[in-house]
A and B are shown apart, each in its own frame.
Chain A
Amino acid sequence: MMESSWRYKILAAIFGLMGVAIVIQTIRLQVIPEGQAVRQEGDDRFQGVWLEIDSPRGQIFDRGGYLLAGNKIVYEVGIELQYVRDAGSIAQVLNTVLEMNYAEALGLASLPFDEKDSVYAVVERGVSAEKAAILQSFIDKWAEDIRNGDVGDGSLAGLVLFPYLHRTYPERDVASSVLGFVNLEKKGYFGIEEHYDRMLIGAAKEVWIPFNPNNVTEMPDIPSGASLVLTIDREIQLMVEQLLDEAVEQYEAKSATIIVMNPENGEIYAMASTPRIDLNEFWTFPEIYPEDTPFNRAVSQSFEPGSAFKVFTMSAALDSGTVTPETIFFDTGSIEVGGITIANWNGDAWGEQDMIGCLQHSLNVCLAWVGTELGADKFYEYMDAFGFGHFTNIDLAWEATGRLKEPGDGDWYPADLGTNTFGQGISVTPIQMVAAASAIANDGKMVVPHVVRITIDENYQYQTHTQTAGQPITTETARTLNEMLAISLEEEASRALVPGYRLAGKTGTAEIPHGDEGYTKEITNASFIGWGPVDDPKFIVYVWIEEPTPIWGSLTAAPVFSKVVERLVVLLNIPPDVVRNQLNGQ
């Protein structure tokens, strides 16, 4: 009896000590500072996991609801280093399926597992669903073999695939210069993607997912990125891009840009420039846009517009009462302004001309005279009101302002007034030309061009309202100039005309300064700005061809304008004038 008693006592002492140790350890973990870290580690490891949950990037539609930018499932291929049993097999599969360098893959798979520093290796992101399916089939086959007891030589343990959404552009390069692109890090570059990046991207949130189902809490509502409906019409956009490419090829041009806008509300129907990129292969960007090539010339490249600018000089002169359409100017073939002599495009003297004749024959001398009559202060005041030298505030990234030198600027000389009147010595962007022309086509009111028509955010739709950027000229001036430009086109029998439709417009041919030679007649910017129908303008089309052959806007940009309008009126459902008047009269 005595013998068993001391055994009981020892056993009791051991259990007692264990109990005391547990109590001491419990108190220690609660009290000492190091205990905090231990508790945290325990919490992190055994109670749940932090997951970053992001919402899909907002979609982008054209004005008809067709998807221009959406999201597709792609995969991240990775290796969970802790579970790797056979790095060679993993490297072999990655080499076969992803065409990855074997040594590189082996290096990744062989990384030593370290609980703190080295847990997971990213092999490749953005893997297509097709390749991911092949990879998964390898993993499934291996898992099946394991289940059947056939362990075999290779093990793919540790090789994992995670699906996620990545940007995709179903129309590929159509409207690429307007849309911009999103890289693998989900950051928007250029165009809409950059300008509206913060709206489109939605939100990402770190969420605590407890392992204990009793502790499951409400998953926070992570809003999706806002979706955008553009003013762009994909059919008009494609048509414009095709004509643009044809023009570049036909006229052996360096580049070309076309903008189609509604002058009543500033909605851009189409905006195209060269080069363009298949947005699904955005990594080709450095090859397609070498050096300083703008992504979207329509908003980012400034240039000297040439004679197309005369419409603004004339509108300023008409509006200020300096001239009327009937004012006569006797053209002697040259005029001196600020110490330099200005001549006409062909060097000829055109004799007696009214203001319509000056526009019709695009006489530099006449417009320089109009500018001097108007005076520098008034001229630049009007040009300022037309928005030259300022942002149009179009909702696209990387807009340039161009340059309007004004009296008082260090590099402005009186001679600039003469050359500026016919669009030389001033730099503008294509979108500035279109915005300014909207004042003439829209009864004097200039609209702010925009590309987003509707924003859909959290199930609410927000309509973009028309914004007026001022009224640089009166309604009467706008109508008068409209008529003058329509008559000058008709009398010139311009190649810009479209049978059945009365249009207003003006060609432009601007010399381009070239190295040390300065301005040369062989290299030009050819352009045409026009709108119609004259009695109720529904569209403005601006065509700019850089360095074409032949050099004249009337021979290059004007025919392109005509082709664009010929197709545009069908797509916009605008009947010929006669039919329209008949229908309106019904």
Chain B
Amino acid sequence: MDRGQRIFQAYKNTPWRQQLQVIGLFSALVIFIAIVAGVYLNVTARAATFGREIQSIRYESREVEREIEDMEAQLAYLTSVRYMKRRAEELGFIPVGPITTTYLSVPDYSREPSIETSYVDETDEDTNIQLPLEYTMSLFDWIREMIYEIGLQTGAVEGP
């Protein structure tokens, strides 16, 4: 055995240590894959949950819309002109005639009632909710975006 061999022999790991290294490496790989899979599953599960919630809220929203329309109609039945007239008569009111009416001049008064509808202005900014980037970008795009932002902050990358 020459000197070189002796040095190699001296520093060579024992077989069990070599096996342990291989097992360790393999375990590390498995753990890494498990972590990635776990994160992926977690994100997917959350996305799925939100997806279901969105679907459910949409159905609910359509149901509420229907109910609003229905209730407006019910209210209109309860305040229909014939019904209101009968109620007024039951309460002892009688229609006024043109001669028996006292007219007063009220500056800037307009008899014309305002028009109220069930519609509201939906152009409000609050309703234009944007999903976070995490939900709309791929993982690689997100990482690239992060690196780009860090680069901008550190000055390593020039801004547009």
A172 to B55, CA, bound (A): 38
Instruction: Verify if B141 is at the interface (C-beta below 8 Å from A).
Output: no
A573 at the interface (CB under 8 A from B): yes
Asked if A11 CB lies within 8 Å of chain B CBs, one says no
* A213, B67: Cβ atoms closer than 8 Å: no
Q: Is B60 an interface residue (CB 8 A)?
A: no
Report yes or no: A566 in contact with B97, Cβ–Cβ below 8 A. Answer: yes
Contact B99 A64, beta carbon cutoff 8 Å = no
The 8 Å CB contact of B73, one of A64, A170, A579, A583, is A170
Interface of A is mostly: mixed
The CA-CA distance from A59 to B76 in the complex, in Å, is 12
How many Å from the CB of A336 to the closest CB on chain B? 47
| A window 160-203: CB within 8 A of B | 163-165, 168, 170-172, 174
Contact residues in A for B81 (Cβ distance below 8 Å):
66, 171, 174, 234-235, 237-238
Beta-carbon contact of B103 and A567 below 8 Å: no
Query: Which one, B9-17, B119-127, B142-150, is touching chain A?
Result: B119-127
A67-B72, A238-B82 as given contacts; A576 in contact with B99, CB under 8 Å = yes
- B109: min CB distance to chain A, Å: 10
- Say yes or no: A168-B96 contact (C-beta < 8 A), given A209-B55, A586-B105: no
The reply to whether B69 and A499 contact each other, CB–CB distance below 8 Å, is no
Q: B37: CB under 8 A from chain A?
A: no
Query: From residue 51 to 73 of chain B, which have CB atoms closer than 8 A to chain A?
Result: 51-52, 54-55, 58, 62-63, 65-67, 69-70, 72-73
Q: Which of B81-131 touch A at CB < 8 Å?
A: 81-82, 85, 95-99, 101, 103, 105, 111-123
- Identify which of B44, B76, B101 contacts A214 (C-beta below 8 A): B44
Q: Is the CB of B73 within 8 A of A70?
A: yes
- Closest chain-B Cβ to A462's Cβ sits at a distance in Å of 12
Q: Which of B52, B79, B119 contacts A459 (CB 8 A)?
A: B119
Closest chain A CB from B33 CB (angstroms):
21
- Contact partners of B50 in chain A: CB under 8 A: 213
CA of A500 to CA of B77, assembled, Å: 37
Residues B51 and A214 in contact, CB atoms below 8 Å apart:
yes
Closest residue of chain A to B99, judged by CB? A500
B35, CB-defined interface residue at 8 Å: no
B47 CB within 8 Å of chain A: yes
Asked if residues B95 and A567 are in contact (CB atoms below 8 Å), the reply is yes
Q: Which of B66, B69, B96, B115 contacts A570 (CB 8 A)?
A: B96
B97 touches A238 (CB 8 A): no
Q: Does A154 contact B (CB under 8 A)?
A: no
In the bound complex, how far is the Cα of B95 from the Cα of A576, in angstroms?
Answer: 17
Instruction: Select one of B79, B97, B103 contacting A66, CB under 8 A.
Output: B79
Whether A163 pairs with B117 at a CB distance below 8 angstroms is: no
List of B residues within 8 angstroms of A165 by Cβ: 66, 69-70
Distance to closest chain A CB from B76 (angstroms): 4
A71 lies within 8 A of chain B by Cβ: yes
Give every chain B residue within 8 A of A172 (Cβ-Cβ): 80, 82
Determine whether the beta carbon of A583 is less than 8 Å from that of B103. yes
Report the minimum CB–CB distance from B44 to chain A (whole Å): 7
* Contact between chains at B66 and A163 (CB < 8 Å): yes
B27 on the interface (CB 8 Å rule)? no
- Which A residues, 58 to 76, have Cβ-Cβ distances below 8 Å to chain B? 59, 61, 63-67, 70-73
A65 touches B114 (CB 8 A): yes
Task: Tell me whether B44 and A65 are in contact (CB under 8 A).
Answer: no
- Shortest C-beta distance, A23 to chain B (Å), equals 26
B-contact bits for A134-160, CB 8 A (1 contact / 0 none):
000000000000000000000000000
* CB-defined contacts of B117 to chain A, threshold 8 Å: 59, 61, 65, 227, 229, 456
For residue A216, CB closer than 8 A to chain B, the reply is yes
B113 to A65, Cβ gap below 8 A? yes
What residue of chain B has the Cβ atom nearest to residue A501's Cβ? B98
Q: Cβ of B49 < 8 Å from any Cβ of A?
A: yes
Q: Report whether B69 and A56 are in contact in the complex, using a CB–CB cutoff of 8 Å.
A: yes
B80 touches A213 (CB 8 A): no
Cα separation A280 to B79 with both chains bound (whole Å): 17
Indicate the size class of the contact surface on chain B: 35 or more
With A and B bound together, what is the CA distance between A213 and B118 in angstroms? Answer: 32
The answer for the CA separation of A575 and B121 in the assembled complex, in Å, is: 39
B23 CB-CB contact with A under 8 Å:
no
Question: Smallest CB–CB gap between B86 and chain A, Å?
Answer: 11
Q: Is the CB of A454 within 8 A of B58?
A: no
* CB of A199, distance to nearest CB on chain B (Å): 14
A168 to B65, CA, bound (A): 16
CB distance from A126 to the nearest CB of B (A): 14
Given the interface pairs A227-B119, A234-B81, the reply to whether A570 lies near B101 with Cβ below 8 Å is: yes
Q: Are B114 and A579 neighbours in the complex by a CB distance under 8 Å?
A: no
- The CA-CA distance from A499 to B97 in the complex, in Å, is 11
Of the candidates A73, A566, A583, the one having the most CB atoms from chain B within 10 angstroms of its own CB is A73
Query: Which chain B residues border A63 with CB–CB below 8 Å?
Result: 112
B82 touches A459 (CB 8 A): no
**Bound form: Cα–Cα A64–B73 in Å:** 16
Give Cα A224–Cα B68 distance, bound, in whole angstroms.
14
The complex places the Cα of A135 from the Cα of B11 at a distance, in Å, of 87
Enumerate chain B residues within 8 angstroms of A67, measured Cβ to Cβ: 72-73, 75-76
Set of chain A residues within 8 Å of B48, measured between Cβ atoms:
212-214
The distance in angstroms between the C-alpha atoms of A499 and B58, with both chains bound, is 61
A323 touches B (CB below 8 Å): no
Residues of B contacting A59 in the complex (Cβ-Cβ under 8 angstroms): 69, 72, 117-118
Is B98 in contact with A73, judged by CB distance below 8 angstroms?
Answer: no
Q: Is A2 an interface residue (CB 8 A)?
A: no
Provide the residues of chain B in CB contact with A10, threshold 8 Å: none
Say yes or no for A569: interface residue by CB 8 A criterion: yes
Given contacts A61-B117, A566-B97, contact A575 B73 (CB under 8 A): no
Within the complex, the shortest CB–CB distance from A219 to chain B, in Å, comes to 6
Is B74 at the interface (CB under 8 A from chain A)? yes
B contact residues around A243 at 8 Å (CB): none
Which B residue sits closest to A163, measured CB to CB?
Answer: B66
List of 7 A-B pairs having minimum Cβ-Cβ separation, nearest first: A213-B51, A170-B76, A67-B76, A216-B51, A70-B73, A575-B103, A213-B48
A-B contact pairs, 5 of them (CB 8 A): A67-B73, A174-B80, A459-B123, A566-B97, A567-B95
Taking beta carbons and an 8 Å cutoff, which residues of B are in contact with A?
44, 47-52, 54-55, 58, 62-63, 65-67, 69-70, 72-77, 79-82, 85, 95-99, 101, 103, 105, 111-123
